[in-house]
A and B are shown apart, each in its own frame.
Chain A
Amino acid sequence: MGDAVNVTGSVKKKTKKKRQPKGIKYFLKKSKSQKELLLMSVPFLIWLFIFKYLPLSGWLMAFQDYKPARGFQESEFVGFDQFTFLFQDQRFLEVMRNTLAMSMINLVLGFVMAITLAVLLNELRQVGFKRIVQTISYMPHFLSWVVVAGLVSSALSVDDGIINIMLMNLGIIDTPIMFLGVGEYFWGIIGASDVWKTVGWNSIIYLAAITMIDQEQYEAAEIDGATRLQRILYITLPGIKPVVVILMIMNIGYILESGFEAQYLLMNPMNMGYAENLDIFVLRYGIRQANFSLATAAGMFKTVISFIFLFGANKIAQKLGEARLF
C-alpha cells in the first residue's frame, strides 16, 4: 500500500521537473488531458473558495476594535493591539502551557487508545459480540460534555466517588483524594475523560482501515506459525500505518485545540491554574466582552501555529518515508 504511494510520487517528481518551465502552456495542456478530473474537483474548489476563503476577509477585524454596529469600514483600526493584549497578558504563558499540555495528552492518549481498541476489537472472534462491543463503546460520544463532566465529577467525589472507593478498597490510598481540587491532576483527568468519551468513536476509522488489509497476509502468517501478537505487530499495525500517519499529521495541526467544554465544566477555583486554556481565555476576554476582534486575533494566532506544525509534521513524515498529507 505504502509502496504504491512512494513509487508514483517519485515518478511525478521527474515529470514535473521536465515540464514545469512551460508554465501556462503546461497548465492548459494538462487541463485538456485531465478535464474529467478537473470537472470533478473544480466545482468543489469554487465551493471551497466561496465558503472557506471569502469570509477570511473578516480577519481584518483582528487589527481593529471591531464593533458590529460599525462594521468593517467604520471600526477603528488599532494595529496589533489585540495581539499585544493577548501575548502580554500575565496569564498568557500559563494559558499556553495548559493548552499545549492538554492537547498533547489528548493527542497521544487518543491515538494509542483508539488504535488499541480497534486492534483488540478486530481480534474478537465472535462477530456478534464484536458488534455489540463496538456499538456500546461509541455510545459515550453522544453524551454532551455537560453530562460527561457531571459523571466525572461524581466519580471523583470524595464522599462516594467510585474512584476513591476503589482505590481505598485496593489499599492504594488511606484517605480519599479530592481529585478535582488538585491542579496537578487536572490534565490527567481531562485526558482520561476524553478517552472515555471518544475512544470508541475514534476507533471506527481504524476498524474501517483494518478491513482494507489483505486477508491473505493473515493466512500466510498463520501458516508460518505467527502468534496473534506477531500478526498484530507485523500485519495489522503496518497495514493501518498510512491512515494513522495521515490522521496524526492532521491532528498535530490542531495542537492549540485542547478542547473547551471539558475544561470549562470541570474547572473550579482550586484547579483553574491548570485548567484555563486559550479557548477559555478567549471566551472570558473576547466573547463575553463582545470583543470579537480579540477572538479573531486568537484565531489567527492559532492558524499560524497550526500551519507551522502541520507543514512541519508533513515534512518529517516525508523525510521518514511515511505516507504524507500532501
Chain B
Amino acid sequence: MNLLNRLKGKRRSIDDLIFDTVNVLIMILLVVVMLYPMLNTLAISLNASTDTVRGGIRILPRVFTWYNYEHVFTEAQILRAGITSVLRTVIGTGLGVMASAMVAYTISRPHFFLKKFVTIAFVMTMYMNAGLIPTYLLHRDLNLIGSFWVYIFPTLIGVFNIIVIRSFIEGLPETLFESARMDGAGEFTQFFKIALPLSLPVIATVSLFVAVGQWNQWFDVFIYNSSIPELSTLQYELMKVLSNANAAFGSGAGAESQFAASQGGVVDVVTPQSVRAAMTVVVSVPIIMVYPFLQKYFVKGLTIGGVKG
C-alpha cells in the first residue's frame, strides 16, 4: 500500500519533470520565434537604409546608423503628438473601461429585467457597420470634428470588452452579492465594492486591450482632425513619415526630390522599410511597457479562490 503510493508519487514527479522540461523547451522555442520579428525590426531600424534594401538583415544591423531615428524624430512632431497620444490613451482607457464594466455588471445580474435586451442591443452593433460617410456626418452634426473628444466618445465602449467582463462577473459566486444585498448594499455598492475589485484580472486585460487600441489608432485622426496639428497623435505622425517615404520611392510623384537624392549620391536617405522599422520601435516600445506592469493583477486574481471558499 505504502509502496504503491510512493511508486505512484514517484511516477507522478517523473511525469511532472518530463512535462516541465518539454514545456520549458516549447516556451524557449516560442520566445525565439516571437522575438525574432522584433529583433529583426530593431536591426533594420538601426541599419543604413540603402544597405537594408539589399536584404538579408536578420537580428544584427550590418551598417549601423541612428539616421532612421533622427529622421523620424525630426520629421514627426514626436513630443506634441506623444502628449496627445498619452492623453487619449489614459482618458479613453479610464472612461472606456469604467463604462464597459458598468454595463457588463448590469447584464451580469440575473434578475435585471432588461438583461437580454441590453445584451442583444450591444452585441448586434459588433456586426453592423454604418460605413465611413454616415459616421462622419453624425460626428459632424455632434460637433465632434476638430475636437479631442472624437477620440473618446465614439469608441467609448467596446462590446467585446463588455462581454468579456460580464462573463467574469458571472463567474463570481453569487453568494457574495446576496450577502451584500442582505447588508443593504445597493447595485452601485455591489458594483464598486464587489464586482470591480474581484474582477481585477479581467479589468487589467480589458484595460490593456483598450489602451493598445487607443494608442494604435490613427484613422480617426486622419478622417476628423488631420488639419489640426495640435490634435495629431504619435501613430498619425509616424504614418505621415511613412507615407512620405513611400511616396518618395514608390510612385512617380515627387520625381524632382527623388532625383535630386539619387543624383547627388547622398548617403542619408530613408526608405519605407527603415522608416517603418524605426517607427514601429518608437510607437510600440512605450505601449509594450504597459503589459508587464499589468501582469501583477493577473496574479492578484488568485486571491478570489480564498474568498470563494
Chain A positions within 8 Å of B, measured between CB atoms, are 1, 4-5, 8-9, 11-12, 26-27, 30, 34, 36-38, 40-41, 44-45, 47-48, 50-59, 61, 66, 68, 117, 120-121, 123-125, 127, 129, 131-144, 146-148, 150-151, 154, 160, 196, 200, 204-205, 207-209, 211-216, 225, 227-229, 242-243, 246-247, 250, 253-254, 292, 295-296, 299, 302-303, 306-307, 310, 323, 325-326
Q: How far is the CB of B291 from chain A (nearest CB, A)?
A: 6
Are A307 and B171 also in contact (CB < 8 A) when A147-B280, A212-B201, A228-B19 are? no
B contacts with A: majority SS: helix
Asked whether, in the complex, the Cβ of A143 is within 8 Å of the Cβ of B41, the reply is: yes
B204 within 8 A of A: yes
**B120 partner residues in chain A, CB cutoff 8 A:** 326
A contacts with B: majority SS: helix
Q: How far is the CB of B210 from chain A (nearest CB, A)?
A: 13
Chain B positions within 8 Å of A, measured between CB atoms, are 8-9, 12, 15-16, 19-20, 23-24, 26-27, 30-31, 33-38, 40-41, 55-56, 99, 102-103, 105-107, 109-114, 116, 118-135, 137-138, 142, 153-154, 156-157, 160, 163-164, 167-168, 170-171, 173-174, 186-188, 191, 199, 201-202, 204-205, 208, 212, 216, 273, 276-277, 280, 283-284, 287-288, 291-292, 295, 298-302, 304-306, 308-309
Q: Which of A37, A48, A144 contacts B122 (CB 8 A)?
A: A48
Residue in A closest to B39 when the chains form the complex, CB atoms? A139
**B208 partner residues in chain A, CB cutoff 8 A:** 204
Asked whether, in the complex, the Cβ of A211 is within 8 Å of the Cβ of B298, the reply is: yes
Q: Which of A38, A131, A254 contacts B114 (CB 8 A)?
A: A38
Residue in A closest to B116 when the chains form the complex, CB atoms? A326
Asked whether, in the complex, the Cβ of B167 is within 8 Å of the Cβ of A323, the reply is: yes
Asked whether, in the complex, the Cβ of B31 is within 8 Å of the Cβ of A137, the reply is: yes
Asked whether, in the complex, the Cβ of A253 is within 8 Å of the Cβ of B126, the reply is: yes
**Bound form: Cα–Cα A154–B40 in Å:** 12
Q: How far is the CB of B110 from chain A (nearest CB, A)?
A: 3
Q: Which of A56, A129, A212, A213 contacts B130 (CB 8 A)?
A: A56
Residue in A closest to B305 when the chains form the complex, CB atoms? A215
Asked whether, in the complex, the Cβ of B288 is within 8 Å of the Cβ of A34, the reply is: no
Q: Most B CB atoms within 10 A — which of A138, A147, A151, A310?
A: A147
Q: Which of A48, A58, A303 contacts B127 (CB 8 A)?
A: A303
**B116 partner residues in chain A, CB cutoff 8 A:** 326
Asked whether, in the complex, the Cβ of B16 is within 8 Å of the Cβ of A9, the reply is: no
**B284 partner residues in chain A, CB cutoff 8 A:** 139, 142-143
Q: Which of B27, B163, B186, B305 contacts A124 (CB 8 A)?
A: B27
Asked whether, in the complex, the Cβ of A120 is within 8 Å of the Cβ of B135, the reply is: no
The 9 closest A-B pairs by CB, nearest first: A58-B134, A8-B110, A211-B301, A55-B130, A306-B127, A142-B284, A215-B305, A36-B187, A52-B125
**Bound form: Cα–Cα A196–B260 in Å:** 41
Asked whether, in the complex, the Cβ of A242 is within 8 Å of the Cβ of B171, the reply is: yes
Residue in B closest to A9 when the chains form the complex, CB atoms? B110
**Bound form: Cα–Cα A272–B164 in Å:** 37
Asked whether, in the complex, the Cβ of B20 is within 8 Å of the Cβ of A250, the reply is: no
- In the complex, 29 of the A-B residue pairs with CB atoms within 8 angstroms, ordered by the A residue number, are A27-B113, A37-B187, A51-B138, A51-B154, A56-B128, A56-B130, A58-B131, A59-B130, A61-B133, A123-B23, A134-B291, A137-B30, A139-B38, A142-B284, A150-B273, A196-B34, A204-B205, A208-B168, A212-B171, A212-B301, A214-B308, A214-B309, A225-B9, A228-B15, A229-B19, A250-B123, A299-B131, A303-B129, A326-B116
Q: How far is the CB of A156 from chain B (nearest CB, A)?
A: 14
**A37 partner residues in chain B, CB cutoff 8 A:** 106, 109, 112, 114, 187
Residue in A closest to B112 when the chains form the complex, CB atoms? A37
Residue in B closest to A19 when the chains form the complex, CB atoms? B113
Residue in A closest to B132 when the chains form the complex, CB atoms? A292
Asked whether, in the complex, the Cβ of B288 is within 8 Å of the Cβ of A135, the reply is: yes
Asked whether, in the complex, the Cβ of B133 is within 8 Å of the Cβ of A68, the reply is: yes
Asked whether, in the complex, the Cβ of B129 is within 8 Å of the Cβ of A299, the reply is: yes
Q: How far is the CB of A199 from chain B (nearest CB, A)?
A: 8
Q: How far is the CB of B19 from chain A (nearest CB, A)?
A: 5
**Bound form: Cα–Cα A176–B111 in Å:** 63
Q: How far is the CB of A258 from chain B (nearest CB, A)?
A: 15
